[in-house]
Structure 1
Amino acid sequence: MTHDTVRGNPGRPVALLLPGQGSQHVRMAAGLAGAEPVFDRAMGEALAALGESGAGLRSAWLHEDRPSVIDHVTHSQPLLFALDYALGKLVLSWGVRPVALLGHSIGEVAAAVLAGVFTLADAAAMVHDRVGRLAAAPPGGMVAVAASPQEVAPFLGDGVVVGAVNAPRQTVLAGPDGPLRAAADALRGAGFIARPVAATTAFHSPVLAPALRGAAEAIAALPVAAPRIPVVSGYTGRRLSLQEAAEPDFWARQPMAPVMFWPALEFLLAEDLLLIEAGPGQGLAQLARRHPAVRSGRSAVLALLPPGPGPGDADRAAVRAAAAVLGRPVAV
């Protein structure tokens, strides 16, 4: 990775973190709509690229106040893809040149667009196809457990699997509704903290395999380019190669493959960085703050947006504060 520094961050190159399912909330980043031209333009491009559903998605993004709607795969996945892309473009417009991008779940698709692996139109076609398939999957969900993968192992089975390893003691389980509820109840009974993740689909679970059958064939028609910005994959825990990026099954399997965010973060933080979470919420920033490199002060973390829902001026204030840290004053 080549280094690039920014004013206000001497000596530290920048990497972007792009969040996925579970980070969404009502009116996420809506305070930037109509207030930040670069963000507005990029968000409009992403929603337009998603086709006929784009107008409905925009309306839900700006006006819907029911989490049950925003959490559904038909809204959460395309909106997270669009927001991650638009917020990433906003940071790039400040003259920041990231040395790496690390996306979590659907955030990896947005990272691939920002890196030039896919065009926005082609990635949006992949997301649209993926969402249509996942909408037909059986009901399911995800549960975050304050435990290691080894500790949750006795509670797995009946379709319940480890869907993500987010930190040494932050493991996400995924599976069908009934078995997942039973596993969560058993974990709580054993003294573990287990909280639902905002999802109505068993993301990163093999139960999605039937719904995703044929996805690789659709992706195979999309052209792929070498990443212009290094992408650290949350599925392999290493830098994405052109060979991997060109493999349709690599992308087709992502919705049912476990996210190994912590190993990917370990790889990323082998050097000292300023990590910027460019997406709704501060979930990845909170996880990154647990890393020894951040706790020791060798690396640092910056979130672009507030931790959750709030008034529009909170979004604008958070972006202004982040830009000031980077030495990029903005008027929003």
Structure 2
Amino acid sequence: MSRPIALLLPGQGSQHAGMATGLYRTHPVFTAAMDEVFAAMGEEGARLRADWLARQPAVALDHVTRAQPLLFAIDYALGQVVFDWGLRPETLLGHSIGELAGATLAGVFGLGDAARLVLDRMHRLADGPPGGMLAVAARQEDVTPFLDGDVVIGAVNAPRQIVLAGPYPALALVEKSLLAQDFTCRRVPSLSPFHSPALAPATEGAAEVIATLPVSPPRITLYSCYTAAPLTYEDVADANYWARHPVAMIRFWPALDALLAERDAVLVEAGPGQGLSQLARRHPAVRAGRSAVVSLLPGRPGPPDRDRSALATAAKSLGVEGLTGL
């Protein structure tokens, strides 16, 4: 391929019932990678796997103890599928927990250490205040007058697509005010106020745990969705950088803009849904045809064979030949 590949790895809000289960036990590489993650998570991994595959999970998939580790696992496993195809992405850009999957694919963390970080994070955040996230079709300056100290801009996903985050009932009150002014709003599937100061108390002590984990320089350029720049070894070696993730604002669009300013690319979304693909298609480089977007999974939930069909279609778009297990 003439253009380099950049993997986009989605995070909180992209999860849904049955996500990627159509590839489990049918695609060998994906299955092995998922089992590797579950094994690294020990007893919690077994419970996680059971809820992922269950028609009626014991713990809701939107709960932090399910959404976060499952998104990490699926993003990581799909990255391994791309590697197995013989494709070597030049760049990785993860959204929220997707950045940790990217860091693992880039060799910053070993899988066992990354699993420890994910488990520590989810247990801490499970004790945080209830809350949520709200996608709003607006600019930052449009919604600022509606915000209070508890509700903040948690993510800038596109020039007119932001996500608010905060505890309840404050977030619900802001939503009511925005709807009254004819803003288009949509609840993001989340039971926690990710990327807001409300979670700061729950993250206390996380840096001390992360500081015990060995890190290596990224083997693949890893863009930060927090700083909107490539991560250096000094960045990834800073335990506070990773500990702040649940509280810090996501800057996905500035990061994507910086990535595509370097050179045009084929943006491959490796995770549930097509949310990041939809955002990326708004970028001028994609609209002009200089860059392209490919999604590995379907845009909405469906029967298991839809996962396999979407992956096969994506492989064909990427010029991969001689596939098995699809």
Task: Report the TM-score when normalising by structure 2.
Answer: 0.97
Match of 1:254 among 230, 233, 245: 245
Contact preservation (8 Å) 2:91, 2:222: yes
State the Cα RMSD in Å. Answer: 1.1
Sequence identity percentage: 58
Question: In the alignment, what sits opposite 1:75?
Answer: 66
Match of 1:94 among 62, 85, 107: 85
Question: In the alignment, what sits opposite 1:181?
Answer: 172
Question: In the alignment, what sits opposite 1:273?
Answer: 265
In structure 2, C-alpha distance between the alignment counterparts of 1:135 and 1:213, rounded to whole Å: 13
Question: In the alignment, what sits opposite 2:154?
Answer: 163
The list of structure 1 runs, each at least 4 consecutive aligned residues, that deviate by more than 3 angstroms after superposition, is: 64-68
Please state how far the C-alpha of 1:60 moved relative to its aligned partner: 1.0
Whichever residue aligns with residue 276 of structure 1, its letter is V
1:167-246 alignment to 2 at 5 Å? Answer: 167-246=158-237
Whichever residue aligns with residue 301 of structure 1, its letter is V
The answer to whether residue 39 in structure 2 is matched with residue 48 in structure 1 is yes
Please state how far the C-alpha of 1:248 moved relative to its aligned partner: 0.2
Whichever residue aligns with residue 212 of structure 1, its letter is T
In structure 2, C-alpha distance between the alignment counterparts of 1:283 and 1:156, rounded to whole Å: 25
Please state how far the C-alpha of 1:177 moved relative to its aligned partner: 1.2
Please state how far the C-alpha of 1:67 moved relative to its aligned partner: 11
SS in 2 for 1:175: strand
Match of 2:20 among 21, 29, 40: 29
Contact preservation (8 Å) 1:26, 1:65: no
Q: Bigger shift: 322-331 or 15-24?
A: 322-331
CA distance change for structure 1 residues 120 and 200 in 2, over 3 Å: closer, same or farther?
A: same
Please state how far the C-alpha of 1:158 moved relative to its aligned partner: 3.5
The answer to whether residue 103 in structure 2 is matched with residue 112 in structure 1 is yes
SS in 1 for 2:16: coil
The answer to whether residue 101 in structure 2 is matched with residue 132 in structure 1 is no
Task: Report the TM-score when normalising by structure 1.
Answer: 0.96
In structure 1, C-alpha distance between the alignment counterparts of 2:56 and 2:149, rounded to whole Å: 34
In structure 2, C-alpha distance between the alignment counterparts of 1:67 and 1:155, rounded to whole Å: 37
Question: In the alignment, what sits opposite 2:285?
Answer: 293
Whichever residue aligns with residue 203 of structure 2, its letter is L
Contact preservation (8 Å) 1:32, 1:312: yes
SS in 2 for 1:231: strand
Whichever residue aligns with residue 293 of structure 1, its letter is A
Question: In the alignment, what sits opposite 2:299?
Answer: 307
Mind listing any 5+ residue stretches in structure 2 that lack a counterpart?
none
In structure 1, C-alpha distance between the alignment counterparts of 2:58 and 2:45, rounded to whole Å: 19
Please state how far the C-alpha of 1:51 moved relative to its aligned partner: 2.0
Contact preservation (8 Å) 1:19, 1:84: yes
- Deviations along 1:2-38, one digit per CA (max 9) or x if unpaired, are xxxx3xxxx2110000000000000100000111100
Whichever residue aligns with residue 4 of structure 2, its letter is P
Please state how far the C-alpha of 1:64 moved relative to its aligned partner: 3.6
Contact preservation (8 Å) 2:51, 2:57: no
In structure 2, C-alpha distance between the alignment counterparts of 1:15 and 1:222, rounded to whole Å: 27
SS in 2 for 1:41: helix
In structure 2, C-alpha distance between the alignment counterparts of 1:316 and 1:134, rounded to whole Å: 33
Whichever residue aligns with residue 44 of structure 1, its letter is D
Please state how far the C-alpha of 1:234 moved relative to its aligned partner: 0.2
In structure 1, C-alpha distance between the alignment counterparts of 2:90 and 2:133, rounded to whole Å: 32
In structure 2, C-alpha distance between the alignment counterparts of 1:84 and 1:64, rounded to whole Å: 22
Contact preservation (8 Å) 2:51, 2:58: no
- Deviations along 1:255-276, one digit per CA (max 9) or x if unpaired, are 1100000000001111110000
In structure 1, C-alpha distance between the alignment counterparts of 2:160 and 2:42, rounded to whole Å: 40
In structure 2, C-alpha distance between the alignment counterparts of 1:181 and 1:277, rounded to whole Å: 31
Whichever residue aligns with residue 163 of structure 1, its letter is G
Question: In the alignment, what sits opposite 1:327?
Answer: 319
SS in 1 for 2:60: helix
- Deviations along 1:132-181, one digit per CA (max 9) or x if unpaired, are 00000010000000001111100111400000000000000000010000
CA distance change for structure 1 residues 193 and 66 in 2, over 3 Å: closer, same or farther?
A: farther
Please state how far the C-alpha of 1:65 moved relative to its aligned partner: 4.5
